[in-house]
Copies of this chain bind each other. A is one copy, B any other.
Amino acid sequence: MPKQTFLNLEGSKRKVITNAFLREFAIKPYDQASLSDVVKELGIAKGSVYQYFEGKLDLFLYLVGECNQTKMKYIGEITRKSYPDFWAFFRALYECGYKFDSENPLQSHFLFNLIENLNSPSIKHLHNEMLSQTVKAFEEMVEYEISAALFREDIPVKVMGFMLYKVGVSIQEQLIFSKTIEPLKSIENNTSVFLNKKEELMKTVDDYIRLIKPSFDK
């Protein structure tokens, strides 16, 4: 938790500081992200960071929380029940993600890099924790579809859930691999990840859905 001092900060200053750290963690893994660099860039003293936060991890967790909260404001509105099948729902999540990205580029960048970010040895425990949560969410979705007789039931839920999670990640990584999106360049240019790339994003999403649908549908 950030200290009271940070919360007392004038809104705009708090934002400038938050953004600078978001940018740093969006570019480098946790262990490589340098507080020293950021304070230099911000023109504030190193000590200030420790007046605002308990330490590096506290700061990082604050950023994770903030970004998740913002993204939830977008994604939270989407419910499975509003869609005829899982895939329409799945697709809607990406459309929503696009909106989140275009309206919150820096937070989007940060979350984009989060999985890679968490690979750092000193926060392995966090990585496992978050992975468990995410995978569990996917497993629950799969369970729902199975109980609704929409997904096949001859494959362990654990496998289907994990695979679905991996498909989500793969879509992102495919877009990076094919250089459709270039997060690092976007950050430099202060633009959102998917700027002018909505069509390509949704095309890839649709390709993936068409590809894996037969694996899951009953």
- Give the segment of A1-9, A92-100, A156-164 that binds chain B: A156-164
Flag if A211 contacts B163 (CB, 8 Å). Answer: yes
Q: How far is the CB of A1 from chain B (nearest CB, A)?
A: 28
Contact of A215 (CB < 8 Å), options: B28, B29, B204, B211: B211
Contact of A177 (CB < 8 Å), options: B131, B154, B174, B204: B131
Q: How far is the CB of A177 from chain B (nearest CB, A)?
A: 7
Complex: A187 Cα to B52 Cα, angstroms:
40
Flag if A155 contacts B214 (CB, 8 Å). Answer: no
Cβ proximity bits A54-67 to B, threshold 8 Å, 1 near / 0 not = 00000000000000
Residues of B within 8 A of A135 (CB): 177
A44 within 8 A of B: no
Flag if A211 contacts B160 (CB, 8 Å). Answer: yes
Flag if B208 contacts A163 (CB, 8 Å). Answer: yes
Q: How far is the CB of A100 from chain B (nearest CB, A)?
A: 24
Flag if B211 contacts A214 (CB, 8 Å). Answer: no
Residues of B within 8 A of A32 (CB): 31, 120-121
Residues of B within 8 A of A140 (CB): none
Contact of A154 (CB < 8 Å), options: B174, B210, B215: B210
Complex: A116 Cα to B213 Cα, angstroms:
29
Complex: A215 Cα to B155 Cα, angstroms:
14
Q: How far is the CB of A193 from chain B (nearest CB, A)?
A: 18
Residues of B within 8 A of A177 (CB): 131, 135, 162
Instruction: Check A207/B162 contact, CB under 8 A, given A29-B121, A212-B215, A214-B215.
Output: no
Q: How far is the CB of A143 from chain B (nearest CB, A)?
A: 16
A185 within 8 A of B: no
Complex: A141 Cα to B174 Cα, angstroms:
18
Instruction: Check A211/B155 contact, CB under 8 A, given A121-B32, A135-B177.
Output: yes
Q: Which of A166-214 contact B (CB under 8 A)?
A: 166-167, 169-170, 173-174, 177-178, 204, 207-208, 210-214
Residues of B within 8 A of A121 (CB): 28-29, 32
